[in-house]
Amino acid sequence: MELHLIFLYLAVLLFFARLTGDIFAKFGIPSVIGEIFVGVLLGQSVLGIIPLSDVFRLLAELGIIILLFHIGLEADLKQLKQVGISALAVALTGAVAPIITGFLVSYYIFNFPFMSSLFIGGTLTATSIGITVRVLEDLGKIKERFAQIVLGAAVLDDIFGVVVLAALFEFSKTQEIHLNATLLLILYIGTFFLFAPIIGKIFAYFISFLAKKLNTLDFVPPIVVAIILLFAFAAHEIGSPEILGAFTAGIAFSRRFTIPFAAAFQADREIIHKIEESLNPLIWIFTPIFFVYVGLQINLRAIDFQSLHFWALSAVLLIVALATKLLAGLFVKGTKKEKLSVGFSMLPRGEVGLIFAEFGRISGIYDSTLYAVIIFVVALTTLIAPVVLKTLLKEEKGKFS
């Protein structure tokens, strides 16, 4: 794609993403739905004006990486620790239930091949952490206790998703389960999450030290962005999603995170304020690109809406996708509304589900019909969750007990 066309597409994308998002918000619909709608409308599904591009993919990744850093920066670590068991229970249920149920339904009811059934289950395991946190933040609920459970569970679910995809990838090539390789990947990811925040905190202290010596804060934003990208790269290298590296970097710079017995490694509040102030414009610009890109990836033209088999399979898999994530909410103490809020927060498959679907298509595991069904179910879960959450939480006054 020629450079001048990229500029034109980016101009159109940014303008309509922000405008449509605000229009949707004006009518009480989460702005993220408007941004995804722009991608669907301008992309391969409808008008075909904006093609998929590695440039847009890169900008989208930047958007979600910066958003997850911001979420980590604002995360209530004390509350995250308090809800750790609940988050783990939600994550485990939200990961195990879909893959088992999806496999059983696909293999025994629809008689799909063994590998295709496994991939269907793996696709349904996914949770799009970016969509989840954006919706909760837009609704002003990100700091509440149930949202911290969702945040912890979504992070863990993303890790599970990567492990499942890696295991299925190896299995599809050799037809053998490489348990040692899977356990090693889990060990790498666990080690990263253990040491990354500590290393990040040392970086934060170093920035504070330089700011005092140089008597300026102008260098802070580019250095912080460099650190975010470094952590994203490190996360990818050990087999973890890049966004989780950015999240741990945000935790490291958080005011609420201190290294035991090393209180000196603490960034000044002024530095943290400068970071937050500098990142806001980047979030406003790049985050909508991510959600538009999710819409661009959806190809509704691949779907034969006249096929009864398509509708039957889609309906069953959608029920599985809904029920298994809502089941995860049952492990949260609280009212029925609170349990449903957690379940629907874990529902959107978004870009993670699309990655599974695309891999299945390229590998020949999905035929054209099955690929279309998976795209349709992923799209529906992505669009349903924000709308339902908006309805569930708009009258929510209190917090979890």
CA dist 193 and 64 (Å) reads: 19
**Other Cβ atoms closer than 10 A to 276:** 13
- Of residues 95 and 394, the one with the higher pLDDT is 95
CA dist 371 and 378 (Å) reads: 11
149 contacts 87 by C-beta, under 8 angstroms: yes
User: Does the pLDDT at position 24 exceed 80?
Assistant: yes
pLDDT tens for each residue of 295-305: 888 888 877 78
pLDDT tens for each residue of 329-353: 887 877 788 888 888 888 888 777 7
Give me the pLDDT at residue 16, please: 92
CA dist 139 and 158 (Å) reads: 22
Amino acid at 202: I
Give me the pLDDT at residue 105, please: 93
Amino acid at 154: A
Q: Tell me, what DSSP letter sits at residue 258?
A: -
User: Does the pLDDT at position 323 exceed 90?
Assistant: yes
Boundaries of every domain in the chain: 31-50+62-393
CA distance from start to end of the chain = 54
pLDDT band, very low/low/confident/very high, at 141 (cuts 50, 70, 90)? confident
As given in the structure block, the two tokens for residue 50 are 């904006």
CA dist 340 and 325 (Å) reads: 10
pLDDT tens for each residue of 238-251: 777 787 788 888 87
CA dist 349 and 41 (Å) reads: 19
As given in the structure block, the two tokens for residue 297 are 């990836």
Give me the pLDDT at residue 269, please: 65
pTM: 0.73
98 contacts 348 by C-beta, under 8 angstroms: no
Torsion angle of C-alpha atoms 175, 177, 181, 186, degrees rounded to 10 = 130
CA dist 92 and 113 (Å) reads: 26
31-50+62-393 is classed CATH 1.20.210.10 = no
* 3-state SS class at 399: coil
